[in-house]
Structure 1
Amino acid sequence: MTNNDHMTDNPALLVAAAVDRCLTLAETWLAWDGTPIVTDGANLWTPAKAVRRVQDHLIDHLAEVEALLAGATPQEEHWHGRMVTLDADWARFTELDLAEARARWTRLGQSYVNRYATAPDAWDLPRTPNWTLREIAEHVAGITWYAEQVGTLRFGDSARIR
């Protein structure tokens, strides 16, 4: 298998695709009217909260990948998860917020792709008690779940488009 074959198989491409999906949803969040979206009967969601959770997840697991590749123990994460809604999560979601998310998420997604490209032989190495790098990428690709909690919004309608 050549180096280029590894690139087409790069599990981090799933992360980059998930970032693209999240951005597609976030483009509609400019229509948010300030009404929280309640999911699972207890979780409150706003665009800013979804942005925070997507970013936290991308950063947390990229740090985990870096630690594992360095042979270090990954640091525990201390993020406040989805069950917490911070005061900052109630902020309006503006064009600049979208531009910032686009810049951050795209760079983070590409960082996964680039980092994984440097270590194709390490993608499936067992790292007990941690996941393999492939499993981490598959898990991180689940960031779309956070964006889907806000979903697709449209102006003049506080309900999500289903």
Structure 2
Amino acid sequence: MTETAKETPAETVTGMVDHVLALAATWTAWDGKPVRADDRVYTPHKAIRRVADHLVDHLAELEDRLVGVEPLPDHWHASAATTEADLAPFTQEDLDEARSRLTRLARIWAARLGTLTDEQLDESPGEGWSFRELALHLKGSTYYADAVGDLS
């Protein structure tokens, strides 16, 4: 059994956020130069934005599917866009805000996933991944933070 298989879906999401925030704790040392990863560029602000957006987007999907409505399509350009705000210095205040925002989002995910039965996690309503698979998909959000890396 792999380590991931031992985790609950809630632990998968909270563990991802813990990983992102551990890296983010080093980003106040960022030199202001975007980091290339594959065909994109990343900055501390962009990494935090992408993780938060990913959590929000899929939480909206999960909630819609649970109540039997069609999830709204996402029209954002995801990580293809780098905004002026993404290029700003990453300060201690930004880190504090990221900790607060991502920790609250992880807690919402953990609470919601923790209320679902194994059957609901694996035989989820509507189209798309099961909710267990969705949690594993969210774990991939570490990609954004890993692109920026540990700047200590």
Q: Distance in 2 between matches of 1:46 and 1:9?
A: 29
Partner of 1:18: 16
Residue 76 of structure 2 corresponds to residue 79 of structure 1:
yes
Any idea what the Cα deviations from partners look like across 1:30-69, whole Å, max 9, x if unmatched? Answer: 00011111121x3111111111101110100111111111
Partner of 1:54: 51
1:10–1:113: 8 Å Cα contact kept in structure 2?
Answer: no
Aligned pairs for 1:1-162 (under 5 A) are 10-40=8-38, 42-120=39-117, 121-127=119-125, 129-154=127-152
Structure 2 unaligned residues grouped into runs of 5+: 1-5
Q: Name the % identity.
A: 47
Q: Distance in 2 between matches of 1:128 and 1:109?
A: 23
Structure whose CA Rg is larger:
1
Q: Distance in 1 between matches of 2:124 and 2:31?
A: 46
Q: Distance in 2 between matches of 1:115 and 1:134?
A: 12
Higher helix share: 2
User: RMSD of aligned C-alpha atoms?
Assistant: 1.5
Q: Distance in 2 between matches of 1:116 and 1:45?
A: 30
* Aligned length in residues: 146
TM-score of the aligned structures, taking structure 2 as reference length: 0.90
1:46–1:89: 8 Å Cα contact kept in structure 2?
Answer: yes
2:68–2:125: 8 Å Cα contact kept in structure 1?
Answer: no
Q: Distance in 2 between matches of 1:126 and 1:58?
A: 18
Aligned residue for 1:75, secondary structure, equals: coil
Any idea what the Cα deviations from partners look like across 1:86-125, whole Å, max 9, x if unmatched? Answer: 1111011000100111001011111111001222241011
Any idea what the Cα deviations from partners look like across 1:69-97, whole Å, max 9, x if unmatched? Answer: 11111111122211211111101100010
Partner of 2:3: none
Aligned residue for 1:82, secondary structure, equals: helix
